[in-house]
Amino acid sequence: MSVFQKLLEIRDKKGAGFLLLVDPDENQMDKLPEFIRIADAEGVDAFLVGASLLLSNNFEDTIKIIKSEANKPVIIFPGSSQQISSNADAILFLTLISSRNPEYLIGEQVKGAPLIKAAGIEPIPTGYILIESGRITSVQYVSNSMPIPSDKPDLVKVHALAAQYMGMRLLYLEAGSGALYSVPEEIITKVSEYADIPIIAGGGITSPEDARAKVIAGASFVVVGNFFEKEGTHNLLAEFSEAIHTNIKSEIEVE
Ligand code: 1GP
């Protein structure tokens, strides 16, 4: 089964999938194995690895540690065509559809495609849409792209539909790592009613309630990264899982 199919299966079974973003620069490598084991046990469905920019040499080791400590898909969430590894299972083959910068619409993709083929990992074509979130985010700055204003859901909708018509399999609605405000539920709902491909919501999600609100609004997958990089947060992994897995929760409630 492909990783993409596995993701759909998780969504169908659990209501939505919990994707944990591991930034290779933001985790102490000696503490990473234990964190991954806890995350695996507490219900994380898949791991994303990547960053807008890499400052360290930890990219490969991060992937290897996750592969050895958890039995879940490891999916690269690349900031550029330099972030490709044969040790991962798949890669979000991103098109920064909200951008007008050709480098992030086609340039990086052309550089990355042969490396992905050589690595033998599964590309998952993904329309990546930046949404304004209260301040300039790393992805916005590095990609030199203007995010879509958060009070313009129609603009997000038409970008999403264009991504679908271009053959992309997923939509990633991104507020940016550490965003002040996560992607508004209104946008998620309107996009989910307008386009037919599954939505990933990420950026600035810092509570189980917020994560669950994204699922109720129509997200199929929720990404959390920054929050779990802070000390003393790992005990909340289970609560995030429960909040995101709306089907499983309702089964418990029914019993
Ligand atoms: C960033 O959407 C991801 O690209 C996750 O964001 O780090 O704010 O959780 P956070």
User: Which tens digit of pLDDT belongs to each residue from 29-44?
Assistant: 999 999 999 999 999 9
Q: Is the dihedral of CA 223, 36, 109, 79 positive or negative?
A: positive
**CB-side exposure of 218: number of CA atoms within 13 Å?**
20
pLDDT in tens, 122-136: 999 999 999 999 999
Distance 254 CA to ligand 1 centre (A): 33
pLDDT of 72: 98
Distance 109 CA to ligand 1 centre (A): 22
Whole-structure pTM value: 0.96
pLDDT of 28: 83
Is 21's C-beta closer than 6 angstroms to any atom of ligand 1? yes
Q: How far is CA 237 from CA 9, 90, 96, 229, in A?
A: 21, 23, 29, 12
* Range scoring the smallest mean pLDDT among 24-28, 35-39, 55-59, 223-227: 24-28
How far is residue 77's CA from residue 85's CA, in Å, rounded to a whole number?
Answer: 11
Identify whether the C-beta of residue 70 lies closer than 8 Å to the C-beta of residue 18: no
pLDDT bin (cut points 50, 70, 90) of residue 251 is very low
Is 225's C-beta closer than 6 angstroms to any atom of ligand 1? yes
How many other CB atoms are there within 10 angstroms of residue 117's CB atom?
A: 10
pLDDT at 167 > cutoff 80: yes
Tokens of 226: 């920054």
* Nearest atom of ligand 1 to the alpha carbon of 77: 4
How far is residue 16's CA from residue 192's CA, in Å, rounded to a whole number?
Answer: 14
pLDDT of 223: 98
Is 140's C-beta closer than 6 angstroms to any atom of ligand 1? no
pLDDT of 249: 55
Range of the domain at 246: 3-254
Identify whether the C-beta of residue 110 lies closer than 8 Å to the C-beta of residue 155: no
Pocket test for ligand 1, best of 18, 21, 128 (most atoms within 8 A of CB): 21
Output the domain CATH number for residue 54. Answer: 3.20.20.390
Domains in the chain, number: 1
Is 205's C-beta closer than 6 angstroms to any atom of ligand 1? yes
Task: Over range 10-21, report the average pLDDT.
Answer: 98
pLDDT of 26: 81
Identify whether the C-beta of residue 145 lies closer than 8 Å to the C-beta of residue 96: yes
Distance 206 CA to ligand 1 centre (A): 10
Distance 111 CA to ligand 1 centre (A): 25
